[in-house]
A = this chain, B = another copy of it.
Amino acid sequence: MARTAREELALKLTVVLGKAQAAVEAQAAAHAASHGLTLGEFAVLEALYHKGDLLLGELQRKVLVSTGGITYLVDRLEGKGLVRRLECPTDRRARYASLTREGSALIERIFPEHTEWLVHALGGLSLAEQRTAIALLRALGQHAEAAGSGAPRDAA
């Protein structure tokens, strides 16, 4: 029942991938929390900051939450006065999410800080190593996502 090298590597890679991501996410979450935001809220503000007003559906796909989740997230940000909903002139089902003046000022102020935190957190790798890691993780992610449809040895 000896485990193959391939299996050994897969188990180890899964573990270190999870731990590395958790550690980086914890850093990012700590920074967001220091401004009273969750990571999801930060992600919404950041998306609106860099892309301008977005339909809730577009935002939902960008932030990677469920449809119920984006409603909940935007509700919270609206409650904090950072985001508001705008009607869509061409489709009465749809709503835009849009930064308020306060939301815009907040994200403009804290996004550079956020970047600094990430630079700090990722400082364990040289720039060249980071480039290598990006390439490997991109390939890994794309393959894993594609593998999503279909179990191993699936005939489909």
Contacts and interface: CB of A to CB of B under 8 A. Distances in A.
Interface stretch (A2-10, A70-78, A83-91, A92-100): A2-10
Q: How many copies does the complex hold?
A: 2
B136 A9 contact: no
A133 B133 contact: yes
- Most chain B Cβ neighbours within 10 Å, of A26, A118, A140, A148: A140
Interface of A: 3, 5-7, 9-14, 16-28, 30-31, 64, 115-125, 127, 129-134, 136-145, 147-148, 151-153
Closest 9 CB pairs of A and B: A124-B143, A20-B141, A120-B152, A23-B144, A21-B21, A16-B137, A10-B118, A23-B145, A20-B137
